[in-house]
Amino acid sequence: MLTFINKMLISELKNQKIAIIGFGKEGKSTLDFLLKVGVPSGNITILDQAGPLAPILQERGITGINTVTGKSYLDNLCDFDAIFKSPGVSPYHEKIAPVRKKLLSGAQLFFDNYDGKVIGVTGTKGKSTIATLIYKTLIEAGYDVKLVGNIGNPVLDEVDLIKGEKHDYIVYELSSYMLDTLKPKCFIGILSNLYPCHLTWHNNDFDIYKEAKLNLLKGSERILIEYDFNELMSGIAPDQSLYTFGGGGKYTYEDHKFYNLGEELFTDNRVLLKGEHNKKNICAVIGVGRLIKKYTDDSDEKFEVYIQSLQKVLSKFSGLPHRLENIGTYHDVTFIDDGISTTPESTIEAIKTFGYKIGTLFLGGADYGFTKASYGLLKDSIIEHHIRNIVLFPDTGNDVFGDISRNIKLGEQKVVTIEGIELLLLKTKSMKDAVDFAYINTEKGKTCLMSSAAPSYSLWKGYIEKGREYKSEIIKYTPKS
């Protein structure tokens, strides 16, 4: 039985009975790799609840693969020697947990067979922006770099392990889903922050979620962590390998200026990214440049080039889609899509970014077990910034205002007073009704912010689908005469 594959064992894959759970991007990438290394197609079985899979395989020119679909697709996992699991499939599923020791991934294959420098990035929020900025900055500075993982393509599609392909740096964004069963090996490991999230996937246990994130740092030679979460590393990393950014860290932002160890580097006058949280993200990218200089014998001149490259990137990069994305101004209302903000903490940061400009806020989504305390802080932020109009989507729309919102019927609008502030609440399942509500009630010159403080799965496939529908309804709105 294989627990983790390494270079010596790749050849043994040919004799294993292998399952691939999930046939999305990662599943397809894993199948392609297994066939490239010579695993007979008859030894591979794809397990996916959706089906049929035969047309997809035929379109890819692949024959001889076994497939199992439907509700019972996980019934016979004990029959396999090795099981490649796509990140979205929880290892705590009742049918997967008993075979946990057999679980493998394309990510583990990569880490066990690649000896170049990897910059791993994780965190509850900010990891995609940090990874993208590092990648763009290194490219601008003239390095040979690949961006893989959550934000890019599967690593086995981008790096040819068979040919021994090597790059100056691999920037790898890693989710908690990927890290839960992973033993990574990184030159630099970055943790942006850590809040309760995705707990249903992690057996409803924040400690399990936290340990998944810390797997990246435990497997990193140098650790770069947001200053406020420094205590997480107690007993895990020696001080000499631990570096902090933001707040009281080594790489900081204060009074519109970015600093390296107290030395001013540049101001934010050309930075397009909005929000204090993004200033912390930039501090992390500065930290990466400093660690590259310190541990690869790069010169001061190269660090200057890196910082100049970062400034150039920041003058052009306004953010990733669905992350404080400005959809546009229509009928004197500015619409912002912050659908990626799927925790109360990240929505609070979004509110801080636009402050008193917010006239309407869209909240609510799938219930992922956020605490009453977190929602209490979100309510306080709404009241503090006098956000007058609130759209509440199921399932968590009720959780911010408690019994006040629970007493509102679906499809109903109601004026309520909370801590002396009068609010107009709409409870709805309809994005069209939500956007109509925003146009009618948002004061001219103000902003409508969609930042749900919860994942979007209650009504949509995810934040991307939700964001597209939001934009579509905004653009096609016609005022009633």
Instruction: Kindly report, residue by residue over 305-317, the tens digit of the pLDDT.
Output: 999 999 999 999 9
Instruction: Kindly report, residue by residue over 441-467, the tens digit of the pLDDT.
Output: 999 999 999 999 999 999 999 999 999
Question: What is the predicted pLDDT for the residue at 233?
Answer: 84
pLDDT at 5 > cutoff 70: no
State how far the Cα of 391 lies from the Cα of 449, in Å rounded to an integer.
10
Look at residue 262 and give its three-state secondary structure: coil
Angle at 372 between CA 325 and CA 383, to 5 degrees: 55
pLDDT band at 198 (very low <50, low <70, confident <90, very high): confident
Give the mean pLDDT of the chain: 93
* Of 372 and 286, more confident: 286
Instruction: Kindly report, residue by residue over 243-271, the tens digit of the pLDDT.
Output: 999 999 999 999 999 999 999 999 999 99
Distance of CA 21 to the CA centre of its chain: 21
Half-sphere exposure of 166 (CA within 13 A, CB side): 7
pLDDT band at 368 (very low <50, low <70, confident <90, very high): confident
Question: What is the predicted pLDDT for the residue at 480?
Answer: 66
Output the pTM of the full model: 0.91
Distance of CA 79 to the CA centre of its chain: 34
Q: Where are the domains of the chain?
A: 13-104, 108-314, 325-474
> What is the maximal distance between C-alpha atoms in the chain?
73
Angle at 197 between CA 242 and CA 455, to 5 degrees: 135
Question: What is the predicted pLDDT for the residue at 14?
Answer: 86
Listed in sequence order, the DSSP H helices in 175-264 are: 176-179, 206-218
- What mean pLDDT is predicted for residues 184-202? 91
pLDDT at 297 > cutoff 80: no
Which of the following CATH numbers is that of domain 108-314: 3.40.50.460, 3.40.50.300, 3.90.1150.10, 3.40.1190.10?
Answer: 3.40.1190.10
pLDDT band at 437 (very low <50, low <70, confident <90, very high): very high
The reply to whether 13-104 and 325-474 are identical in fold is: no
pLDDT at 51 > cutoff 90: no
pLDDT at 320 > cutoff 70: yes
Instruction: Kindly report, residue by residue over 204-251, the tens digit of the pLDDT.
Output: 889 999 999 999 999 999 999 999 998 888 777 777 799 999 999 999
State how far the Cα of 115 lies from the Cα of 164, in Å rounded to an integer.
9
Tokens representing residue 392 in the block: 């509440």
325-474 folds as: Protein-Tyrosine Phosphatase; Chain A (3.90.190)
State how far the Cα of 325 lies from the Cα of 346, in Å rounded to an integer.
14
| Amino acid symbol at 85 | K
pLDDT band at 4 (very low <50, low <70, confident <90, very high): very low
Tokens representing residue 323 in the block: 């992350």
13-104 folds as: Rossmann fold (3.40.50)
pLDDT band at 8 (very low <50, low <70, confident <90, very high): very low
pLDDT at 435 > cutoff 70: yes
Cβ(173)–Cβ(152) below 8 Å: yes
Instruction: Kindly report, residue by residue over 17-44, the tens digit of the pLDDT.
Output: 999 999 999 999 999 999 999 999 999 9
Angle at 127 between CA 122 and CA 133, to 5 degrees: 125
Question: What is the predicted pLDDT for the residue at 9?
Answer: 60
